[in-house]
Structure 1
Amino acid sequence: DCLQQIRLLMEQKDQLATVDPRVYHSQLKMLSTEFYNLIPAVDPKLIDNQEFLQKKSDLVNLLSDIALGQNLLAQGKGRETLLHPTDKKYNSLNCKLTKLDRNTMQWKTIDQYLRNTATPPPNAFLSGSRYGKIPEILEIFEVERQGEGARFAQHSALQNRKLLWHGTNIAVVAAILSSGLRIMPNAGGRVGKGLYFAAENCKSSYYVSAAQKCRTGIMFLAEVAMGKEFSITTERSHLRKAPAGFDSVVAQGVYDPDPKDNVTFKIEGNDVLVPAGKAVVRKQYQTSNFQQSEYLIYKESQQQLRYLIKLKMS
């Protein structure tokens, strides 16, 4: 599509010193116009840099997930006429949600995980949660997506499993529950085209768009089979898979949860690390281009959604 062509055009310009600036600008203008013909904008600016391109790619992904959610609702209409409308919508997800009791070890650990990582360390040059304060957990649900367990079992030999945060727009939660976390066609970022996770809640909560009236937001915790990690400290936006001999990529941040406060969950017989400590400065990564760590996998099957957390955003 036109955004992919713009991305390729930018990559070619970076790699080749002989690109004619006039031809390059003309092609960008043509492709930008093509994009705005499909998705109109009040101020259709030229898509001429990576940051703006990523914003438009994220918009396309968001609209795609919203459309999927609307299709799910439409498919449920007319079926099971004796059921309550809410039950119809729930059944259309093909996903089992089990409410977690507040007195369980899982709830208390997740609450600690959130509180310890919801705000950046003092004096850190970080934006933190876009809502400013620690979100309040309203409810936690265990997630069991149809078929996802069997798919995840393909990676049963991979060790180094972590329970990591993933934030999202509330408008696409239904699509995620139905279809899982997906690597979208227009996906991209500082660590390439993959699924992005974080050990710090404040990193992922930046991507949470809450319901306007009630300020309710949704976040996920996924079990991610990291396996052998490839560490980086500079951008690798070209990545489409983990380097040979590795299963995942970690953009090592200056800050990361203190490992001495790690907790271990036992999930379906596997040890899953929960990095529930407060963020600390890591001297070995003080020159990293990443302030907070980002965890990347390039296979959708390498993770399984475990918890949906309903939050009151400040």
Structure 2
Amino acid sequence: MTDFEKNRTIRKGPSKMAEGIAMHRAAESMLPEDERICYDPYAFRFINPEILKFAAAHPAEAEAKLEEMEERLPGLSNSIRARVRYFDEFIEKSCNDRLEQLVILGAGFDTRAYRLAGLKRNVRVFEVDHPDTLFFKMEKIREIFGDLPNHVVYVPIDFEFEDLGDKLRANDYSPDQKTLFVLEGLTMYLPQKAVDETLEFIVHNAGIGSAILFDYYPVSVVDGSSDREIAKNIRNFTQMVGEPLQFGIPDGDVVRTLTEYGFSRVRNVTSDEYKNLFFHGKNADRPVCDLLSFVSAEVGR
């Protein structure tokens, strides 16, 4: 047991959003192999057992709840599942390109360190998140595997009040190694100051060939200036679960925004692109949400 686990006596509990994303991965993983677009055999282990029991005992009611959510947030569930697939493939390619470190910021219940073969070989994985969520996750990882794996470093942090650099350096992060920073479902929940500090740290503390990968909403969704019903519903839903939206990229301006931070080779992946990549054949009719985009960029100009 680590020092922060021993000293932490009061917890508010893990992130509800982290559990919700695990539910998406679990649901997609239950589809037939020729239909699912991502697969996570561990996702269901992070879902409240009472939710699983309810779904098993009341399948019609559970399905009705899913349909209601899809009606309020059309296509968003498919976009979240496409994000898992796209990020998986990006990380696997990075491993093949001699990645040395993977830093997962806002790791939640991310299971890539345990299911992607490339990460188990020569990559050191830093899972960074709020202690409430990270502590719970570590307990689950011990339940699944018997112990914590040697290639994963767990870094507790409150992004709003603690310094990312200090936390990583205290856990033997190397600023000279080729590193991929993954922020899946994170930036939109951080205040502007925390995003600025995080991106500035990455730009100045990563080795040659390092990169960043994250997803984002346009600022019009975050600040409420969008008059689209789904934008309003996304904002209302995140507020309801206690994790309101705080940061967005100026609409259509992601390349300039990241270039100003000091990144280069910015690649924006729109909903049209990931729809074409993953939803074809039997999945051709599955809608996606055009408000959620992915972006990658390299460190340095």
TM-score above 0.5: no
TM-score of the superposition, structure 2-length normalised?
Answer: 0.25
Whichever structure has more strand as a proportion of its residues is 1
Q: Of the two structures, which has the highest relative contact order with CA contacts closer than 8 Å and spacing of 6 or more? A: 1
Which structure has the greater CA radius of gyration? 1
Whichever structure has more helix as a proportion of its residues is 2
TM-score of the superposition, structure 1-length normalised?
Answer: 0.25
